[in-house]
Amino acid sequence: MWYVIQVRTGTEESIRLQCGKLIDRAAMERCFIPYCEEMKRYHGEWHKEKKILFPGYLFVISQDVEALFLGLKRICGLTKLLGSGSVIVPLTAEEERFLKQIGNDDQIVNVSKGVIVNGQVIILDGPLKGQEGVICKIDRHKRKAWLELLLFGRKQRVELGLEILGKMADGSIYNGK
């Protein structure tokens, strides 16, 4: 099962490394930070960069939540395992499926590519393919899309990379010329 750990923003990588060293493999199969690629423009060119998808959160895969909880007590700087009251709650099957779908094996969400047809975004390639319904906003100039999702028991706004290749209306492609 997948669990979420809340940490102080900026300490994600150091706590992930501590988890890998201090927690027994029987208590934790894997600890990871989901990343996403985004496009940034500087020096007159577009560059692909990686950033943390959910700042302040780590993800842990474990089949023994009690052993995981005890192991996490050894970690310096840890805030808490997310849950409901005093009960530690794993991600739902739907949340887990979504994160597996958009992230590759390394949990890096690549930049998607799409077009706009008659005012509707259609994703041609990438992790957002088939997820057009959850896109609530796009910014073609910054090459970003925002999704509204129910994650961690509340509504989250997630920012992902999206490159719009063109705009089509009535079957013709608009190139800005």
Mean pLDDT of the chain: 87
Structural domains in the chain, sorted by start: 1-106 (3.30.70.940), 111-177 (no CATH)
Instruction: Evaluate whether 143 touches 128 at the Cβ level (below 8 Å).
Output: no
Higher pLDDT, 77 or 166: 166
**pLDDT-based confidence at 70, cuts 50/70/90?**
confident
**Average pLDDT in the 11-16 region?**
93
**Mean pLDDT, residues 118-137 taken together:** 90
